[in-house]
Amino acid sequence: MNEINSLSLQKTALIVVDVQNDFCDQNGALGKQGADTSMVKEMILNLQNLIHSARELNLPIIFIQTIHEDATDSEAWVSRGNTKNVEHNQVCRKNTWGADFHVVAPLETETIVIKHRYSAFYNTRLDSILRTFGINNLLFTGVATNVCVDSTARDGFMRDYHITMISDCCAAYSEQAHLAALQNIDSHFGRVATSNEIIEELKSNKTSFIRI
């Protein structure tokens, strides 16, 4: 982990990206397409523990939820990647089990931000919510480390937020992709820490957290 920045954790939010059935469950869309979800299964326990600790400390938690539908499926979007794979775009469709949260889910008092692209900052209310409540330090978790988590973290950095990727609370579909994304964030966009390091840091600064 990089040296902890001096930014007060009173202005920190935990961001949980795309922990949804289609991305995380072996019976979800990606699992059925052959993606290895074993890393997701391993990280869920760490994420549950981190979320529990964050709630005990009244730390704001924002859940990011991908929703796809015809109204947001542009030609450029649906033709990305392997265009021959029709199932490529049948992920997290509106009002389906696949779009539902997987294992961890927001409380009624917690915020959900819906996105339609990889980054949770693109055409969403995330930036407005964070700035309204004076948040400038973001702790990133979720899937996939190298796609939606990475894209959102980079966009956050470009908007002058302090970025922390929590290594054992993120997952990808290969260890190589996961580690490469973490290394890139650590080198250019923020810092990387474990959930235990973050929990310890939060507990040492447990005053006046803002509830979103």
Identify whether 84 is a catalytic site residue.
no
Q: Which of 11, 22, 25, 115 is catalytic?
A: 115
Residue 54 has pLDDT above 70, yes or no: yes
In tens, the pLDDT along 90-147 reads 899 999 999 999 999 999 999 999 999 999 999 999 999 999 999 999 999 999 999 9
CA 29, 71, 151 angle in degrees (round to 5)?
60
Identify whether 32 is a catalytic site residue.
no
Instruction: Name the residue with higher pLDDT: 17 or 70.
Output: 17
Q: What is the pLDDT of residue 97?
A: 97
pLDDT over 70 percentage in the chain: 89
Q: What is the pLDDT of residue 7?
A: 38
Q: Which of 24, 148, 169, 170 is catalytic?
A: 148
In tens, the pLDDT along 163-205 reads 999 999 999 999 999 999 999 999 999 999 999 999 988 888 7
Burial class (CB in 10 A: 0-12, 13-18, 19+), 87: exposed
Give the mean pLDDT of the chain.
89
Q: Which domains does the chain have, with CATH numbers?
A: 9-203 (3.40.50.850)
Q: Which of 11, 18, 22, 170 is catalytic?
A: 18
Residue written as token pair 């919510």: 129
Q: In terms of Cα–Cα distance, which of 199, 79, 94 is closest to 139? A: 199
Residue 81 has pLDDT above 90, yes or no: no
Identify whether 92 is a catalytic site residue.
no
End-to-end distance of the chain based on CA atoms, in angstroms? 28
B/e letters for 109-127, b = 16+ CB within 10 Å, e = fewer, are ebbebbbbbbbbbeebebb
- C-alpha 170/C-alpha 101 separation (Å) is 15
Q: What is the pLDDT of residue 88?
A: 60
Q: What is the pLDDT of residue 116?
A: 95
Confidence band for 82, pLDDT divided at 50, 70 and 90? low
